[in-house]
């Protein structure tokens, strides 16, 4: 299933994409795609619905982040060998964990704001993993059973804030609009191998990132198991699993986003995001 949330910011409704790519309203079956609605039992119930009988959404609505009320937005750094190399950093012995503020979360096609005083706003296409049930001390063998689904994430970063402004990476990762998620949440039964997904990102029509999840240093199951040793994961938590090479910081010369730029990024089977870039008000 391809689940999504549509409507104005803060008033999104739950929906599902039918076989023809038409949005169907799920409001009569659940309040939101969030929390307990991500359990195996609820998702199985949705799968049993006659999707074609649900009301269609015909007014070309805004698409919101594909999961609501995110409790934790966890990111994995330096998780592709070639991206670590372009960043001038060694591959880590264990997953590098940092957080983005949940206030950074936005819809997949919403405008991206370059924050005040930014000089190095960068892009990163990443595979997002949405947790479906309470997860603590889970083994790698069982880790993927705790996933509700997968999505596209753009882990936008302000490199000067991240690297030169002291403290943890969160400073450069958490500006408003720096976390586009979606367009939809693809349930795990439709993603048999999360380590075989081609991914790309373009700026103004030029392809900068062209990679695959098969080059992850730590795979999805390892990441989930590792995280669960240090914190419990809850339904609706989002894990962004790292980016392949081709970020702006890795270009010669370095290349960063500026007002008027247009991004397009996608992961095979998980959808495409398109964002215009503007200066923050």
**Tens of pLDDT, residues 250-276:** 999 999 999 999 999 999 999 999 999
Same domain, 159 and 190: yes
- Res 86: pLDDT: 72
Q: Tokens 């939101």 map to which residue? A: 32
- Res 91: pLDDT: 84
Confidence check: pLDDT of 89 > 80 = no
In a domain, 60, yes or no: no
- Measured CA to CA, the distance from residue 111 to residue 51 in angstroms comes to 31
Confidence check: pLDDT of 278 > 90 = yes
Confidence check: pLDDT of 83 > 90 = no
- Across 211-215, average pLDDT: 95
Same domain, 8 and 80: no
- Res 268: pLDDT: 98
- Across 24-28, average pLDDT: 96
Count the neighbouring beta carbons within 10 Å of the beta carbon of residue 228: 20
Same domain, 45 and 82: no
SS3 assignment, position 281: coil
Same domain, 44 and 80: no
Q: State pLDDT tens for residues 111-167.
A: 999 999 999 999 999 999 999 999 999 999 999 999 999 999 999 999 999 888 887
Q: Are 71 and 236 in contact (CB under 8 A)?
A: yes
Q: Are 76 and 218 in contact (CB under 8 A)?
A: yes
The whole domain housing 112 covers 73-279
Same domain, 25 and 162: no
Same domain, 254 and 208: yes
- Res 168: pLDDT: 78
Tell me the average pLDDT of the chain. 95
Classify strands 105-106 and 179-180 as parallel, antiparallel or unpaired. parallel
Same domain, 13 and 140: no
State the total domains in the chain.
2
Angle at 57 between CA 184 and CA 22, to 5 degrees: 55
For 101, 166, 204, 251, 274, the CA distances from 87, given in Å and listed in that order, are 23, 18, 23, 10, 25
- Across 21-28, average pLDDT: 96
More confident residue, 169 or 205: 205
Same domain, 123 and 246: yes
Q: Are 11 and 48 in contact (CB under 8 A)?
A: no
Confidence check: pLDDT of 94 > 90 = yes
Same domain, 20 and 114: no
Count the neighbouring beta carbons within 10 Å of the beta carbon of residue 18: 14
CATH assignment at residue 148: 3.90.850.10
Q: Are 26 and 38 in contact (CB under 8 A)?
A: no
Specify burial of residue 271 (Cβ count, 10 A radius: 0-12, 13-18, 19+).
buried
- Across 203-231, average pLDDT: 97
- Res 200: pLDDT: 98
SS3 assignment, position 4: strand
**Helix/strand/coil (H/E/C) assignment for every residue in 90-112:** CCCCCCEEEECCHHHEECCCCCE
In a domain, 170, yes or no: yes
- Across 230-259, average pLDDT: 96
pTM equals 0.96
Residue 73 half-sphere exposure, CB side, CA atoms within 13 Å?
23
Q: State pLDDT tens for residues 30-77.
A: 999 999 999 999 999 999 999 999 999 988 999 999 999 999 999 999
């Amino acid at each position: 299933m391809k689940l999504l949330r549509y409507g104005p910011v803060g008033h999104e409704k739950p929906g599902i994409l039918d076989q023809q790519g038409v949005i169907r309203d799920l409001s009569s079956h659940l309040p939101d795609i969030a929390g307990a609605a991500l359990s195996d039992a609820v998702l199985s119930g949705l799968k049993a619905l006659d999707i074609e009988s649900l009301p269609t959404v015909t007014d070309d609505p805004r698409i919101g982040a594909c999961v609501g009320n995110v409790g934790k937005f966890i990111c994995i750094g330096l998780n592709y060998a070639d991206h670590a190399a372009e960043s001038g950093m060694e591959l880590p012995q264990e997953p590098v964990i940092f957080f983005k503020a949940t206030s950074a979360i936005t819809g997949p096609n919403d405008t991206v704001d370059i924050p005040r005083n930014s000089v190095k706003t960068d892009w990163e296409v990443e595979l997002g993993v949405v947790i479906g049930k309470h997860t603590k001390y889970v083994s790698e063998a069982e880790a993927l059973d705790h996933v509700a689904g997968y999505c596209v994430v753009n882990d936008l970063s302000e490199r000067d804030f991240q690297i030169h402004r002291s403290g943890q990476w969160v400073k450069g990762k958490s500006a408003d609009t720096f976390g586009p998620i979606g367009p939809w949440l693809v349930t795990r039964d439709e993603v048999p191998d999360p380590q075989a997904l081609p991914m790309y990102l373009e700026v103004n029509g030029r392809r900068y990132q062209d990679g695959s999840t098969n080059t992850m240093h730590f795979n999805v199951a390892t990441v989930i198991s590792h995280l669960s040793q240090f914190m419990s994961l809850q339904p609706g938590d989002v894990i962004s699993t790292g980016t392949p090479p081709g970020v702006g910081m890795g270009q010669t010369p370095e290349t960063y986003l500026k007002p008027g730029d247009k991004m397009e990024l996608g992961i095979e089977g998980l959808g495409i995001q398109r964002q215009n870039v503007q200066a923050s008000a």
